[in-house]
């Protein structure tokens, strides 16, 4: 079984603001597309609960770790501590399933998608995001979902000029770090071997960017991102 966690670590640190705002947009976009009984796979810190729960009749959210109790203090919200796949729910239990920044961590991704299709009712909807990086290309994710779903809307999360300025600064910081990777290990080693050093170096880079450019880092808001048909330059796939 695979751990449920986030691809880009989102914490309360101001240095994480750019990815937090991007993640928040996914929840707001999903909330406009869901209804009825909703399942979330990968609760994370739980900040999406207050966005999605008001739009659901029943909202069940699953993760390996429980979010803060006050986030679950809603009459229609239920938390299940679990890993996936499989999903411990009967067939046709939900009208919608959402899962953000999780699928790229699931080794048995075809089984993951199969289980989601199983717990959805006829006509149900699955909304998924994943970073537009080496885990899945836009076409690879489409093919994975097409094995179970007959209709797929392929969208992407893009940023405005302010966001692009931040990512350009971030990229320069990453390039300064990776210039020491003379053996090109970042492309040769499997993700699980790179995860811990990547997280450490990424955290250091984000904090450095915050110190050197506080105004840009903290000024990014959800509205600085937008969802459009998938294409080159999108940060996340939103399918």
Tens of pLDDT, residues 28-66: 999 999 999 999 999 999 999 999 999 999 999 999 999
Token pair of 160, please?
A: 């405005």
Q: Give percent of the chain above pLDDT 70.
A: 81
Report d(CA 139, CA 150) in Å as an integer: 15
**CB-CB contact of 78 with 53 (8 Å):** no
Mean pLDDT of the residues in the chain: 87
pLDDT of residue 66: 94
Tens of pLDDT, residues 160-174: 999 999 888 877 766
Question: What is the largest distance, in Å, between two alpha-carbon atoms of the chain?
Answer: 55
pTM to 2 decimals? 0.84
Q: Are strands 120-131 and 225-229 parallel, antiparallel or unpaired?
A: unpaired
């Amino acid at each position: 079984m695979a751990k449920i966690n986030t691809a880009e670590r989102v914490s309360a640190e101001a240095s994480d603001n750019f990815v937090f705002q991007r993640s928040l947009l996914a929840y707001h976009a999903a909330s406009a597309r869901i209804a009825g009984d909703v399942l979330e796979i990968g609760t994370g810190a739980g900040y999406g609960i207050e966005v999605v729960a008001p739009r659901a009749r029943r909202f069940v959210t699953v993760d390996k770790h429980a979010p803060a109790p006050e986030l679950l203090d809603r009459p229609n919200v239920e938390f299940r501590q679990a890993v996936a796949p499989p999903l411990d729910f009967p067939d046709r239990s939900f009208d919608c399933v959402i899962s953000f920044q999780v699928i790229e961590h699931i080794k048995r991704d075809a089984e993951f998608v199969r289980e989601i299709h199983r717990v959805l009712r006829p006509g149900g909807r699955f909304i998924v995001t994943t970073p537009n990086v080496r885990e899945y290309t836009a076409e690879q994710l489409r093919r994975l979902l097409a094995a179970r779903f007959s209709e797929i809307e392929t969208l992407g999360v893009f940023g405005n000029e302010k966001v692009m300025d931040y990512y350009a600064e971030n990229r320069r910081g990453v390039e300064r770090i990776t210039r020491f990777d003379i053996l090109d290990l970042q492309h040769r080693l499997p993700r699980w071997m790179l995860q811990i050093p990547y997280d450490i170096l990424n955290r250091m880079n984000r904090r450095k960017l915050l110190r050197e450019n506080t105004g840009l880092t903290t000024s990014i808001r959800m509205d600085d991102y937008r969802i459009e048909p998938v294409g080159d330059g999108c940060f996340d796939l939103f399918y």
